[in-house]
Amino acid sequence: MKVRGQKSDWKDGFLFVGNELVLDFVNTCPVQDSRRVELLVDFAALLRWFRAADCLSSKELSGLQDLWGNTRKAQETAGLMRKLREDLRKEILAWERGEAIGRSIVEELNRLLAEHPMRVRLAVNGTVNAAESWFELREPADLFAPLVQSAVKLFVDIDRERVRKCDQCVLHFRDTSKKGTRRWCSMQLCGNRLKVAAYAARRRNRGKTRG
């Protein structure tokens, strides 16, 4: 049961704990009961993830599923997305350790940026003007656009000291806390386990001291 006022880490069956689009994408193959669980099993699931991540509207999701859902190109795109995810997972782990970004991933990201660019348009709301990012969907692979842009942002603009893998599981996140000392993906998933374990350890240690 969800506690009122408590924000869930799950949205439409997907985890959102990364605080960056690309990290939430990398987190689409979590480990449950000691087994990796593939959440992006096909193109339909991929579209659902983009909708859950607020990259597509409900109308766009429905239209794209009708247009591309059963095509070979759509399923190939889902497979290529999963491959990019695993390549990014390895690269992000190395980057978190302070290593340089590998040439192969740089070339791949630049290729995808050129083939599937993000665009910018002026959005006006009353007296408030803003530059709004958007991407054109001409083929299934254009879904790469926001992911690649987020990956570039991660490697260029985000302090790598604030990006880390959870101490207890395979999920990655950007630490947005004031102190920057977060070590678990979320309180709901792993934080509570750590707190309970720490409490139990303190109890055991007090018992040994008394003995």
Supply the range of the domain harboring residue 79: 10-210
- Torsion, CA 143, CA 146, CA 149, CA 151, rounded to 10: -90
- CA neighbor of 84 nearest in space, from 171, 22, 140: 22
Residue 124 belongs to a domain: yes
Residue 88's domain is classified under what CATH number?
1.10.3300.10
Number of domains in the chain: 1
Residue 100 falls inside a structural domain: yes
Predicted pLDDT at 38: 96
- What are the average pLDDT values for consecutive 10-residue runs of the chain, which has 211 residues? 52 95 97 89 97 97 96 98 98 97 97 97 95 96 98 97 93 94 86 51 52 54
Q: Is residue 2 part of a domain?
A: no
Q: Cα-flanking dihedrals φ and ψ of residue 10, to 5°? A: -105, 145
| Closest C-alpha among 142, 139, 117 to residue 73 | 139
Which distant-in-sequence residues (6+ apart) come within 8 Å of 165 by Cβ?
A: 93, 96, 171, 172
What pLDDT is stored for residue 34 in this prediction? Answer: 82
In a domain, 4, yes or no: no
pTM: 0.87
Structure tokens at 131: 């530059």
Instruction: Tell whether 5 is covered by a domain.
Output: no
Please check whether residue 55 is in contact with residue 142, taking contact to mean a CB–CB distance below 8 angstroms: no
CA proximity to 150, closest of 104, 109, 95: 109
